[in-house]
Amino acid sequence: LRRSAAAWAAVDRDADQVPTPVPPNSMTPWAGSTACALDAAVHAWDIAVATGQPSPLTPELAGPLLRVAKEIVDPLRPWGAYAEALQEDGSGDEVAALLRYLGRDPRWTA
């Protein structure tokens, strides 16, 4: 976490693009940092649900994470980084929408 924080602290927030190790290989600083948060947040959800803990995701977090997910996830699906998206349920629940887009069932429990 310290290394990630240090790396992002050195990024010019006003830059048009920054290099990233995943497609599209450059993103706006906002998208790049939010993509990092997406990875951490979805795995935090995986661990929390698998261990019977409450979800760490909130609608306030899920909205921006879903926005960046829609920019970066589809090119990563063929590599197995994300499962196919699940069908929307029309509930308007931002957390459920994020999880479904990432191929996770928001109702899943261990």
Q: What is the mean pLDDT of residues 59-72?
A: 96
Domains held by the chain: number: 1
Domain annotation covers residue 107 = no
Model confidence band, residue 2 (pLDDT cutoffs 50, 70, 90): confident
At residue 52, the pLDDT reads 96
Domain annotation covers residue 80 = yes
- Between the alpha carbon of residue 84 and those of residues 15, 40, 78, 99, the distances in Å are 32, 19, 9, 11
Residue 90 has pLDDT above 90, yes or no: no
Per-residue pLDDT tens for 5-20?
Answer: 888 888 898 999 998 8
Distance CA 69, CA 6 (A): 23
Domain annotation covers residue 109 = no
Domain annotation covers residue 110 = no
Domain annotation covers residue 56 = yes
Domain annotation covers residue 78 = yes
Q: Residue 33 corresponds to which tokens in the numbers above?
A: 């940092």
Model confidence band, residue 54 (pLDDT cutoffs 50, 70, 90): very high
Residue 29 has pLDDT above 80, yes or no: yes
Domain annotation covers residue 16 = yes
Domain that holds residue 90: 2-101
Domain annotation covers residue 58 = yes
Q: Are 81 and 19 in contact (CB under 8 A)?
A: no
